[in-house]
Amino acid sequence: MLGFENQVVLITGAGRGIGRQHALFFAERGAKVVVNDYGGGLRGENGNNPAPADEVVAAIEAAGGTAMSACNDITDSAQVKSMVDAAVGRFGRLDVVIHNASVYAPIGSFTEARVEDLDRILHVNVHGGWNVVHAAWPHMVANGYGRVVVTGSGAGFFGRRRDQAYSVAKSALMAFAKLLATEGEGAGIKVNLVGPVAWTENAKLQGIPSLMEEFAPPLLVSNLVAVLAHADCPVNGEMFHCGGGFVARVFIGETQGTVFDAKSMTPEAVLAEMGSIMDETGYKVPANSDRSGAHLSAAIAAANPAFAAALAEAKRKR
């Protein structure tokens, strides 16, 4: 059994929904859980209400587990640092961060969308995730070990119709997880992203069919998250779509592409080669932007001897 004895797991948005299930699940498997929830509404209103986090902590302790409540606003970096310091002060370490907290905007056309909703959702999903991982990162680096699981969404992977602000925010977390995975490689830290599908109160707002209430409980997401948060996690910098027992890898691919020189590249030439540019045969899945850049450089070098020579000289001088 994948256990988390002596592990400290901080979960944002853990007072309700998927985050609550994560907290109960990890505690059941031996983790000491930091239950972060600001207690606001699904649209981010109100907040500073410790009741949701306190209730989860009470449930964990009643079952014989160990947890601490953290009613901290993750959009406030000072509050986040205080939360992380308190967790490390009580438990002595911080091993896992699961960034699950999110808020939502009304569903509607792009014409009806408001930039205020985008700002609000970015603050919780993106700024909040940045703040929490940024505060936890030095502790993980010092320990030579850490696991970060970022909660994305199918909306971020592919864009969700009539849910613009949420889609944009979740999309930003894809790059966040990828860059952290690259930086954490040499420090014993692995970072992955899960786009969950589960029936919660939030799901109703997003138009997820009520059929999912029976067939997609949050527990079926927690099972994958546990793998990604465990010491035996076999992957880094990966993204997954998960719900109702379904688990799939999601990746960004790059085709072999077409190379033009400065004289031959015109709008007309690009249009004429669009079929080749779009051809998915032999596509690559770069692990990060450095790998993508290497693919681009290799392709240019293959068609341009002068560039190849300059590239080789630049590498020699590094």
Known catalytic residues are 166
Q: How far apart are CA 310 and CA 210, in angstroms?
A: 59
CB neighbours of residue 98 within 10 Å: 31
Residue appearing with tokens 């649209």 = 43
243 — phi, psi (to 5°)? 175, 145
The pair of structure tokens assigned to 82 is: 């205080």
- 286 within 8 A of 296, measured Cβ to Cβ: no
3-class state of residue 35 by DSSP: strand
Q: What is the DSSP string of 135-168?
A: HHHHHHHHHT-EEEEEE--HHHHH--TT-HHHHH
- 26 within 8 A of 11, measured Cβ to Cβ: yes
The pair of structure tokens assigned to 245 is: 């027992």
